[in-house]
């Protein structure tokens, strides 16, 4: 049997951008589109051209980039949506019609006959203007199947090249989706796409069921972004296809780029990825519990379904109250140190004590404990000499820092949406002049009660080779934030200095 090629339509820039609170500038859309193209996505839904001038600017930028992917614009069954798409120079339109009586009658106030006439007219108009048309049935899982078949047949007679069945508000379970797609795959010769949402947490399962039943295209978003509970997550679907259905069908995606693309989307949308998110979450390949860590160090497959490198991730050992001695021994050996049994016991106790106090043991704290127990002293490679922050109702939040690095002084200023953001931006400028260290994540980890509350800030930093966590604590959130940044920077720079000295 010939292995089926599954096309991937990524709708992060359209449906994903409809996530509440997300708005992408044209240049941000272009950056994400280029990442998606490098990933190997077949079709990029760049937006809906009718939306705004800014949306059209973003779509045009993507079109002008001459990417390998087909560039498609969302459009309703009206010429007023097709014309802006044509002006943008897209390859195709994702032509969406309401298919359930609920949507036909309550949303657009039409009849079934009206919808059939509109589909015929607009499909013909788009095709006559040289566009590829993917005819998509909104709310198809609550529509009458006989009516769906009639409308799709009208589109096919006009010449549409693909059709799409949308489970718009997740109104079917996987076995029902399988039945629906099986029925339509029997009678339709063009590719059938599955567009599933995750309102009941089965978007990925429904999409895979649609493929098993004969579907040949998926609609998905990076990180599962989208309205309400989001769309089916591209990274989860494509990894599942690779692991479980590779003999039957597959995609052309470079799975090893999934994590990288995910982080770019997280950065530009401002929607943080849950640590427990499948495939690309920070904890997807992280291990703390003693029995798990021991197992994965002996044989990775014991507690990892796939190698983290397959999706661009790295294994992380987390040290906390559940950590076992085996993990500590292994990590100390990995970094080239020789610890005695007594030193291992002391490190083990220090880690347990921190965990029992409800503290996340950051990477910086873990290595600081090792240094202390084993008599190694961390040199502060970078020190804060001055920090000045201004802000107010009518003043742009601004921060100025003076930082000493070895025998040099760096002075930088930064602005931000608030004083914390301004201070972080000022520190970032200095650090970028010293090394290639960059901030990946920032969050307030814990705050004690009262007006003199102690603030715990945890940052995640990377130098391109390692990713580490570092903490800063203070009654002042600005000081805590700066301290966390400098603690992490010092840890990375000192570890680098030690490793270079050992060579």
- DSSP secondary structure string for all residues of 176-239: HHHHHHHHHHHH--S-EEEEEB-TTS-HHHHHHHHHHTT--EEEEBGGG--STT-BPBHHHHHH
Q: Which residues contact 113 (CB under 8 A, 6 or more apart)?
A: none
Is residue 16 within 8 Å of residue 36, measured between CB atoms? no
Q: What is the mean pLDDT of residues 269-275?
A: 90
Q: What's the pLDDT score for residue 28?
A: 97
pLDDT at 500: 67
Counting residues of the chain whose pLDDT is more than 90, the rounded percentage is: 60
Cα–Cα distance, 268 to 34 (Å, whole number): 13
**Residues 359, 393 within the same domain:** no
The predicted-structure confidence for 149-199, as pLDDT tens digits, reads as follows 999 999 999 999 999 999 999 999 999 999 999 999 999 999 999 999 999
The two three-digit tokens of residue 200, written as one number: 């009941």
Pair (87, 118) in one structural domain: yes
What range defines the domain where residue 125 resides?
4-269
Between residues 419 and 316, the one the model is more confident about? 419
How many structural domains are present in the chain? Answer: 3
The Cα–Cα gap between 201 and 211 comes to 18
Q: Is residue 398 part of a domain?
A: yes
Distance of CA 155 to the CA centre of its chain: 35
**Interior angle at CA 459, CA 264 and CA 309, nearest 5:** 50
In whole angstroms, give the CA distance from residue 4 to residue 100: 31
- Tokens at residue 364, please? 């910086």
pLDDT at 503: 46
Residue pLDDT, tens place only, 89-126: 999 999 999 999 999 999 999 999 999 999 999 999 99
Mean pLDDT score, 41-63: 97
pLDDT(256) > 90: yes
Check residues 296 and 309 and name the one with the higher pLDDT. 309
Mean pLDDT within 247-261: 97
* 276 assigned to some structural domain: no
Does one domain contain both 351 and 390?
A: no
**Are residues 163 and 150 in contact, defined by beta-carbon separation less than 8 angstroms?**
no
Q: What is the mean pLDDT of residues 35-64?
A: 97
Q: Which of 71-75, 183-187, 247-251, 383-387 has the lowest mean pLDDT?
A: 383-387
DSSP H/E element including 317: strand 316-317
Nearest to 418 by CA among 388, 452, 392, 451: 392
State whether 341 and 415 are in the same domain: no
Mean pLDDT of the chain: 89
- Residue 183 belongs to some domain of the structure: yes
CA distance 444 to 417: 17
* 400 and 305 together in one domain: no
Asked if residue 146 and residue 62 are part of one domain, the reply reads yes
| Residue 210 located in a structural domain | yes
End-of-domain residue from the set 218, 244, 269? 269
Is 311 domain-assigned?
yes
Integer Cα distance of 374 and 328 in angstroms: 13
Domain end marker among 324, 349, 374 = 374
Spatial contact of 389 and 427, defined as CB atoms under 8 Å apart:
no
Residues 200 and 292 in one domain: no
* Cβ atoms 218, 206 nearer than 8 A: no
pLDDT at position 78 over 90 = yes
Neighbours of 336 (CB within 10 A): 9
Can you give the pLDDT at residue 350?
Answer: 83
Domain check: are 78 and 28 in the same one? Answer: yes
Shared-domain flag, residues 194 and 331 = no
Indicate if 194 and 326 belong to the same structural domain.
no
pLDDT at 55 over 90: yes
The answer to whether residue 277 sits within a structural domain is: no
Model's pTM, two decimal places?
Answer: 0.80
Neighbour order of strands in the sheet with 408-415: 382-392, 395-405, 408-415
Mean local confidence (pLDDT), 252-280: 94
Q: Which residues pair with 220 in a beta bridge?
A: 10
Sign of CA dihedral 120, 121, 123, 127: positive
447 with 455: CB under 8 angstroms? yes
* Domain match, 139 and 214 both: yes
Q: What is the mean pLDDT of the segment spanning 39-68?
A: 97
Lookup result for tokens 């798409």: 85
Same domain, 367 and 413: no
Q: Are 78 and 51 in contact (CB under 8 A)?
A: no
Residue 279 lies in a domain: no
Among 349, 374, 399, which residue terminates a domain? 374
**What are residue 470's DSSP bridge partners?**
459
Give the domain CATH number at 484.
3.30.160.270
**Kind of pairing between the strands at 455-462 and 438-447:** antiparallel
Kindly report, residue by residue over 409-467, the tens digit of the pLDDT.
999 999 988 898 899 899 888 888 788 888 888 888 666 666 566 788 888 888 877 77
Q: Is residue 275 part of a domain?
A: no
Q: Which helix H or strand E contains 364, and what residues bound it? A: helix 363-373
Measured distance CA(481)–CA(430) in Å, rounded: 15
Nearest Cα neighbor of 260 from 88, 17, 39 is 39
pLDDT of residue 395: 86
Task: Report the CATH number that the domain containing residue 100 is assigned in CATH.
Answer: 3.20.20.70
Q: Which residue has the higher pLDDT, 255 or 491?
A: 255
Which tokens belong to 146? 């006989």
Residues 319-377 pLDDT 10s: 767 677 777 787 777 766 788 888 888 888 888 887 777 666 777 677 778 777 877 66
């Amino acid at each position: 049997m010939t292995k089926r090629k599954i096309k991937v339509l990524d709708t992060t820039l359209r449906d994903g951008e409809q996530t509440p609170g997300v708005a992408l500038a044209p240049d941000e859309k272009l950056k994400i589109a280029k990442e998606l193209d490098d990933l190997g996505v077949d079709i990029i839904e760049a937006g809906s051209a009718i939306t705004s001038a800014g949306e059209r600017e973003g779509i045009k930028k993507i079109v002008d980039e001459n990417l390998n992917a087909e560039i498609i614009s969302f459009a309703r069954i009206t010429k007023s949506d097709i014309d802006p798409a044509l002006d943008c120079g897209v390859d195709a339109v994702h032509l969406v019609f309401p298919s359930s009586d609920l949507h036909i009658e309550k949303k657009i106030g039409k009849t079934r006959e009206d919808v059939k006439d509109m589909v015929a007219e607009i499909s013909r108009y788009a095709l006559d203007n040289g566009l590829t048309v993917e005819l998509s049935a909104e709310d198809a899982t609550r529509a009458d199947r006989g009516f769906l078949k009639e409308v799709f047949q009208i589109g096919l007679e006009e010449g549409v090249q693909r059709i799409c069945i949308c489970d718009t508000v997740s109104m079917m379970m996987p076995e029902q989706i399988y039945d629906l797609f099986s029925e339509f795959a029997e009678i339709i010769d063009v590719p059938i796409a599955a567009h599933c949402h995750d309102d009941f947490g089965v978007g990925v399962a429904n999409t895979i069921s649609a493929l098993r039943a004969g579907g040949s295209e998926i609609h998905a978003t990076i990180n599962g972004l989208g309205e309400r509970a989001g769309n089916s997550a591209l990274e989860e679907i494509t990894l599942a296809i690779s692991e479980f259905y590779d003999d039957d069908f597959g995609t052309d995606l470079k799975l090893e780029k999934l994590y990288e693309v995910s982080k770019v989307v997280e950065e530009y949308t401002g929607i943080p990825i849950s640590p427990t998110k499948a495939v690309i979450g920070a904890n997807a390949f992280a291990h703390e519990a003693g029995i798990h860590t021991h197992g994965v160090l002996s044989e990775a497959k014991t507690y990892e379904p796939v190698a983290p490198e397959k999706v661009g991730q790295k294994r992380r050992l987390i040290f906390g109250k559940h950590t076992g001695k085996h993990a500590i021994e292994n990590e100390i050996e990995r970094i080239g140190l020789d610890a005695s049994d007594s030193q291992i016991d002391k490190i083990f106790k220090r880690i347990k004590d921190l965990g029992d106090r409800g503290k996340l043991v950051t990477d910086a704290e873990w290595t600081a404990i090792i240094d202390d127990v084993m008599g190694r002293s961390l040199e502060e490679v970078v020190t804060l000499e001055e920090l000045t922050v201004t802000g107010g109702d009518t003043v742009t939040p601004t921060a100025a820092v003076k930082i000493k690095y070895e025998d040099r002084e760096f002075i930088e200023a930064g602005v931000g949406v608030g004083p914390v953001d301004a201070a972080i931006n000022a520190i970032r400028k200095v650090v970028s002049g010293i090394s290639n260290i960059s901030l990946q994540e920032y969050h307030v980890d814990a705050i004690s009660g009262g007006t003199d509350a102690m603030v715990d800030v945890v940052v995640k930093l990377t130098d391109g080779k390692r990713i580490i966590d570092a903490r800063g604590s203070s009654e002042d959130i600005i000081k805590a934030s700066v301290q966390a940044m400098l603690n992490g920077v010092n840890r990375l720079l000192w570890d680098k200095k030690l490793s270079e000295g050992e060579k």
